Structure 1
């Protein structure tokens, strides 16, 4: 079985993905990390040097490779992965796969991301909490359509990782 974690940056995909993989005795894969290893470059630098179109094509290629792998995996998707091209369709058409949307409110994402924005190139230029919130709100509006097509939706606002994992395990039954 392949379990894909979808959601906006800061929703907990990587943190929860690693813990979920341990619980399920699956391997864990972070799609962005896989892309960086393949390219020998950071996501930020790939965007800057080769552009978003190049990155999205590469992302889809890596996703297809993951989908063809017969291993049991928990995969942390990039925040935009399910929103581009046919990526969502490819995942949904793959037998024995589930998409879990880690749903966080704009306010929760702003609270989580503002203190660490310097470490996130996409938002590092945003100077105020209000600018960050507006940026997130716009993205969530654009991406919500895709995220809400997930098989399972789990609200992560004000929830401890252990509680979120327990809810995911219950919904996977």
Structure 2
């Protein structure tokens, strides 16, 4: 089973993915980390030096490579991954169990307000503009985020509770 976690930045894909993979005793991968390994550049560097279109092309290629593997794993996607190329359609394969980790705007703002330095798309946002920015992105990405096997709401839940909920969905 290929378990794919998607959702907006800050929803907990990497943290939950790591915990879930450990619980299921299968490998965990983060698509952004895999892109960084492949290109030998950070995501921020790729955005700055090559631009978003180049980044999205590499992202699509690395995702396809991962989904072609035969082994079981948990993979967390970047927040925008499902929205480019035909990435959302790749998640509809038979051996893929995709999960949208859905977080409210307030949850996302509270998590992201202190992480702006590590997130290239958020550098110039204050709390008010960040909320507007997230609202607009969620509206734009709504269709893609809902092309999944299951939706799990993450607000006010611990990592363990979310992982247990996902594990129950897999049974």
Q: Number of aligned pairs? A: 171
Shift of 1:47: 1.2
Shift of 1:31: 0.4
Partner residue, 1:121: 120
1:82 aligns with 2:85: no
Shift of 1:109: 0.2
Matched residue of 1:4: which SS? strand
Q: How does 1:104-115 map to 2 (within 5 A)?
A: 104-115=103-114
1:9 aligns with 2:15: no
Shift of 1:124: 1.9
TM-score by length of 1: 0.96
Is the 2:7–2:101 contact (alpha carbons within 8 Å) kept by the matching residues of 1? yes
TM-score by length of 2: 0.97
Shift of 1:26: 1.0
Shift of 1:51: 1.2
Q: Greater shift after overlay, 3-12 or 144-153?
A: 144-153
Shift of 1:62: 0.3
Task: Provide structure 2 residue ranges, at least 5 long, that are not aligned to the other structure.
Answer: none
Shift of 1:97: 0.9
Distance (whole Å) between structure 1 residues aligned to residue 90 and residue 113 of structure 2: 33
Q: Deviations over 1:128-162 (max 9, x none)?
A: 21011011111000111111121110000111111
Shift of 1:119: 2.4
Task: Provide structure 1 residue ranges, at least 5 long, that are not aligned to the other structure.
Answer: none
RMSD: 0.9
